[in-house]
């Protein structure tokens, strides 16, 4: 077994005195797509924030490609190859599509390469390259957020609820692209309420509940054994 791209060990985190991550253990193999499922309030977004350096852990360890990164800063994490699309849409609404993408060249990847990657995955962004990001549909904004994340040529992409507020058809389209991104060699951890959709493109799945990982396995296995937990509401 090679070193996992992400290895989280007994991770704890709290808001004030309320512990929200209560000993998270999670390992994502290099090159894999893993779906992280579970009910609202399970702690999934908090886990994303701690992994991506936006919130401090109280204890535990995080390794990215074997490098210890707990409480590392976002810049250092980017250098190790981590990129995050946080919950909600992380685009600048008053800038055009192309301006949003050009801003990402600070990380060292040439602008031309950033634009080419974005427009090849999402031809629609090319059509709309001069449009203000805030005037696009939710799905198009999410395409832009994903393109911005891809601009740093990540080894591991963390996606927190790509589907939020989007129509099912658009969600399917976004996940088709997630699968194509994975084929290019990027490892992906995707948090998702649309469990069936995420499982369709995943190699593995993990289920989080009450601040812990309560099951991991192959998608079919998780769908069979954890349906009540992961299909509550959205399918």
Of residues 193 and 197, the one with the C-beta less far from ligand ADP: 193
Q: Residue 209 Cβ, how far from ligand ADP at the closest point, in Å? A: 9
Q: Rounded to whole angstroms, what are the CA distances from 146 to 58, 141, 159, 207?
A: 30, 9, 8, 23
Which residues are registered as beta bridge partners of 36? Answer: 191, 206
Q: Which of 34, 35, 42, 50 binds ligand ADP (CB under 6 A)?
A: 42
Size of the site for ligand ADP (CB under 6 A): 10
Of residues 48 and 104, the one with the C-beta less far from ligand ADP: 48
x/- track of binding to ligand ADP for residues 44-73 (CB under 6 A) = xxx---------------------------
Q: Which does 20 bind (CB under 5 to 8 A by kind): Mg ion, ligand ADP, none?
A: ligand ADP
Give the nearest residue (CB) to Mg ion: 45
Q: Structure tokens of 22?
A: 């209560």
Q: Residue 48 Cβ, how far from ligand ADP at the closest point, in Å? A: 8
Is 26 an interacting residue with respect to ligand ADP (CB under 6 A)?
no
30-55 in b/e burial notation, b at 16+ Cβ within 10 A? eebbbbbbbeeebbbbbbbbbbbbeb
Long-range Cβ contacts of 223-227 (<8 Å, 24+ apart): 223/195, 223/196, 223/199, 226/37
Query: Which range in 37-45, 76-84, 98-106, 212-220 contacts ligand ADP by CB under 6 A?
Result: 37-45
- C-alpha closest to that of 218 among 39, 33, 67: 33
DSSP-derived 3-state class of residue 138: helix
Query: Which range in 4-12, 38-46, 78-86, 163-171 contacts ligand ADP by CB under 6 A?
Result: 38-46
Instruction: State the burial class of residue 107 (Cβ atoms within 10 Å of its Cβ: 0-12, 13-18, 19+).
Output: middle
Is 15 an interacting residue with respect to ligand ADP (CB under 6 A)?
yes
Residues 31 to 70 in contact with Mg ion, rule: CB under 5 A:
44-45
Q: What is the DSSP letter of 201?
A: T
What whole-number distance in Å separates Cα of residue 11 and Cα of residue 47?
9
- C-alpha closest to that of 8 among 62, 82, 84, 46: 62
Q: Residue 87 Cβ, how far from Mg ion at the closest point, in Å? A: 5
Binding site for Mg ion (CB under 5 A): 44-45
Binding site for ligand ADP (CB under 6 A): 15, 20, 38, 40-46
């Amino acid at each position: 077994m090679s070193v996992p791209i992400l290895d989280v060990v007994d991770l704890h985190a709290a808001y004030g005195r309320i512990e929200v991550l209560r000993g998270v253990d999670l390992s994502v193999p290099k090159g894999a797509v893993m779906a992280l499922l579970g009910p609202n309030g399970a702690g999934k977004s908090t886990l994303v924030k701690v992994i991506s350096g936006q919130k401090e852990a109280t204890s535990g360890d995080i390794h990215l490609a074997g490098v210890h990164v707990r409480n590392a800063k976002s810049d250092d994490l980017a250098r190790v190859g981590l990129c995050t699309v946080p919950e909600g849409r992380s685009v600048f609404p008053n800038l055009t599509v192309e301006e949003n993408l050009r801003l990402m060249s600070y990380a060292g990847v040439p602008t031309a390469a950033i634009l080419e990657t974005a427009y090849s995955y999402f031809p629609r962004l090319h059509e709309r390259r001069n449009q203000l990001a805030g005037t696009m549909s939710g799905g198009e904004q999410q395409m832009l957020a994903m393109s911005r994340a891809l601009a740093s040529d990540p080894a591991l992409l963390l996606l927190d609820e790509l589907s939020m507020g989007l129509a099912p058809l658009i969600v399917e389209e976004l996940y088709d692209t997630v699968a194509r991104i994975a084929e290019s060699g990027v490892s992906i951890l995707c948090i998702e309420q649309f469990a069936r959709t995420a499982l369709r493109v995943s190699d593995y799945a993990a289920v989080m509940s009450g601040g812990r990982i309560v099951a991991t396995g192959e998608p079919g296995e998780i769908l069979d054994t954890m349906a009540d937990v992961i299909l509550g509401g959205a399918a």
